[in-house]
Amino acid sequence: MAVPHRSPTGFPDDEGADDFVREFRQAVSPAERDLLAHTPPLVILDVAGDDAGYDARVRRLIGALERALRGQHDVKLVPYALPTADDGSELLSGAAARGLTLGLPRHMTPDRLPGFWPLWDSVGYIREHAGERQAPGADVLRDHAHSQVRIHRQQRREGRLQVFLWALGGKDAPPAGGLRGWLLGSLWQGLTRTFPRWWWARRKTRTLVRAPRLLRPARQRWLGGMLGMSGKTETLFAVMDEVADRQMSRLVLPLEHPRHQESLLALELLLTRALLEDLRTPAIGRIRPLQRRRTARPVILVPLPRQERPGAQAAERFLRAFHQERKNTAQAPGPLVIAVGSPSDELVAELGGPSPVGLTSAGRLLHQSGSDVVLVRLREEPFTREGLFVRPTSPTSYRVGGRVVTAGVAGGTALAVGLLGVGGAALFAPVKKESSSCVGGDVPVAGAKYAVPVPLHPKQWYDETLAEIRVQNRRAERFAAQGRTVRTVVAFASTAPTSETETLFDGTIPELRGIAMWQLKLNDDAVSDDSRVPLRVDVRTTGKGFENAEQKARELVEQVEHDQRDEGDAVGGARKEYEKVIGVLGFAQSTEPTREALKILEQAELPVIGTTATADEMLVSATYWPFTPLNSTEARIEANFAAASPVVARASGGCEPAERAIVVQSSADLYSKSLADKFRKDFHGSTKLVNFSQEGDFSGSPAGTPNIRSAHDLAETVCDELRDSDPTIVFWSARARDFVAFVNALDTQGTCTHRDITMLGGNELTNVALTGEFNDKDWLRLYYSAHRLPAEDKAADEKTKQFVSEYDAFVSGPPTQDPWRDDGHSAVSYDAFHVLSRSADMALSGQGGVDPNAMLTALRSGITFDGATGYVSYGQGSNMPPRDKTLVLLRQSGTGPKVALVCGAYRQGESSNAEGGACAMP
């Protein structure tokens, strides 16, 4: 097998490159901590030219520097950010701040950025409401910024008193009547709502605008001085309200208008100054443990897009702001900022017109505070050959947290606070009344909406979807005929459904609908946006349950290798450029064949974006990016939910949490065994494991557990277990086909259906639950996971609602006759295709090529957007699922699915830790 050609990698071996690499590592992680006190210069590595290889050279240089900042397990060794912008209106200081606070090295003290975040949130509100043309008012800005800090409290790390008050602030006043109720209500509102906002705003004002009265000789703080405030009475948010007065009328002008650009620069200057003030180097030689743990310098790597590309204005605006404000910062900031690309002549002039120097001189200047800007112009020739490997930095690391050093004091403080909290709770706590309301309501699965099962037309629906994909493929080919860059992606699906029964147990149709919908949107956008890469979709079936996935993966690898060798296709003709495959969508199931297929696809170095395959065991390939939460996350949430929420029906009415779980798995099924094992580990009550396989395959079943082939026998076994007096649920991790057989057997037998039976399962059950298959099972309380909120739910994001509206228009027939309108499969494939499409756009070179390796680099740099399933944010340098991806637990009722629990970033700003309860991360 021929080895495919690989592009050169590493730091370009130009003259002095070895000196620069060595000095760069020392500047980031000096041997002596005192060296962090100086201010390094702004460094610009000019890769020159605007030819087709420009983007590749920028990515190569950024990648080489980034490798020095990441460790063996691809984790950050030092705080760094790689801010990029999709258009010229973005403010890169926000992306830089987020990058510096995410994925921090273990036990290294983070920069909390206490001054930056209130200003960032205020500026965001001002920009969002610029169309109103009237300043929102200081109180509105304060309340908005306070709510954002509360949502992101884990990231922003506000003070302990603030955290304590927030813990109280989300609750209603203690229920009580009469004068006592009025007094308690007033006190509660003041303590948990009014006081925290006032106290927080007061502290921020003292930090940013004016000193306390006792320190009046110190005059204004930096923000008061920068904006020319008198420093007497203005609060921080009154200052920001004045900023709104000056800028809102400019922000509604067209982006290219000079006044709009002037406004964006003013805001970027303000935010960059705040960021630099917060990143000042901590005092050297003090004894505070957390200060002594700042052993590395923050790094900001700024790629410079070509001048005609979106985002170029934003990148150069940030560099202008950084250059200007670093001179004014009250205390020397410590970040090292390196820009990579070709700066415009205007930017070079505004930076003082620095003379170019060599890499050796640039390396020496990294340690000198007197230099403002260091400009290095790299030659083109070193990029044509292999470069230098940049070894990871080696900052001082710690095995335990800094607070362990002061554990005695912290323990005493915690004890005192705890005793005080108990006393306060005893004073204000009302008489406890335990809630017995059932989560998700009491309406049974049987009901009006599914009085008659939804009619299914599998062949018609499947053919209609494939026909639409063919239409969009022809549109993409017309783009290619016009000279546009067009490529192909492969979507691996299971077999085409041929009967209603197969349709119940397979998500192929809704998944292909989502793919077709994104392809339609991509082609529509490409009409006016030359930066988009139209993509053809090659749907390849892999047999029932993806049984032929390995074979199909090998065929694709052979095809790609033929293309790389330029030997043509199987019939001897040269493959057209738009037929070349650059990525894969799949798979929808976690099975042994699909896992092995991922290993095979890695040989071709093709990026693979998963859809609804959730098993942790699928993480076997460096080129595979799963899209949905892993089984370990889903099982933890479901186990916590079952043990803490009232889901098991009581004979006396209402519901109570589960204390026991009957876990049904198919031991030979990768997905089923993975989910069952993790649920049993995380569930706080007792569990009973049962192996069920109608095919009789019980490989991998633990010794001493029952192996059952018959649905009737399984029903008897479960009924026997349900006679236990403890509140019990049935946790189902096997496939949907087996679940239908089991439910029907329970209903036919009827020995334990005289009372409600609670069942909890994964996303596998979504398809069958929504078709009305259980419309006559009034004894069934069914909970299952999904990957987006129903559109009718009040918490659903606007993007989710927009997607459902487009889905209704896309699918023929009335929405009420579509079984998957509330299903997440189509939304997941839509967003997964979005990820693959975005990486292709980012990898587009000036010569019109799209290299899959460049797509992998783009994916590793992190991709973020607001999608149909919620907020999607892949972390930098990792091929794990998107951070805090949406997971919803639904309860099926006769009036449709009801949300029982929603976790993760179902909209931007939401998080599992903020949602708490069963969602909270350990």
593, 669 in Cβ contact below 8 A? Answer: no
Contacts for 68 with CB less than 8 Å, ≥ 6 apart: 21, 24, 25, 28, 390, 391, 392, 393
Measured CA to CA, the distance from residue 856 to residue 583 in angstroms comes to 10
The CATH architecture one would assign to domain 458-565+576-628+794-883 is: 3-Layer(aba) Sandwich (3.40)
Strands 299-303 and 780-786: unpaired
* CA distances to 55, 517, 766 from 389, in Å: 20, 43, 48
Nearest to 830 by CA among 486, 521, 604, 424: 521
Gap between the Cα atoms of 308 and 87, Å rounded: 11
What is the predicted pLDDT for the residue at 181?
61
Type and span of the H or E element at 721? helix 711-722
Residue with tokens 């200052």: 239
C-beta of residue 634 within 8 angstroms of C-beta of residue 682: no
Token couple for 922: 């350990």
The long-range contacts involving 185-192, CB below 8 angstroms and separated by at least 24 positions, are: 188/428, 191/165, 192/165, 192/168
CATH architecture of the domain 8-109+292-400 equals 3-Layer(aba) Sandwich (3.40)
The confidence score (pLDDT) of residue 793 equals 87
Dihedral class, residue 896 (left if φ above 0, else alpha if ψ from -120 to 50, else beta): left
Burial class (CB in 10 A: 0-12, 13-18, 19+), 48: middle
pLDDT of residue 873: 93
339-348: string of b/e by CB count within 10 Å (b at 16+)? bbbbbeeebb
Structure tokens at 286: 């003090």
Which residue, among 522, 631, 535, 532, has the nearest Cα to 584 in the 3D structure?
A: 535
Radius of gyration of the chain (CA): 30
User: If we measure between CA atoms, which residue out of 550, 487, 849 comes closest to residue 558?
Assistant: 550
Q: What is the pTM of this model?
A: 0.57
871 backbone dihedrals φ, ψ, rounded to 5°? -80, 125
pLDDT of residue 177: 56
Task: Profile the chain (922 residues) by mean pLDDT over runs of 10 residues.
Answer: 63 92 88 72 86 86 91 80 89 90 69 83 91 87 82 63 58 54 64 75 79 49 69 77 90 92 93 86 50 74 89 93 80 80 92 90 79 89 90 71 52 57 45 62 56 71 93 96 96 84 74 96 95 96 93 95 67 75 94 95 94 92 93 94 92 89 95 94 92 94 92 94 87 92 91 89 80 78 92 88 93 80 91 97 90 91 93 86 94 83 91 87 73
Alpha carbon distance 144, 909 (integer Å): 12
Whether 456 contacts 550, CB under 8 Å: no
**Dist. CA 455–CA 775, nearest whole Å:** 13
The 3-class SS string of 166-191 reads HHHHCCCCCCCCHHHHHHHHHHHHHH
CATH number of the 631-786 domain: 3.40.50.2300
Indicate the domain borders of the chain.
Answer: 8-109+292-400, 112-206+236-281, 458-565+576-628+794-883, 631-786
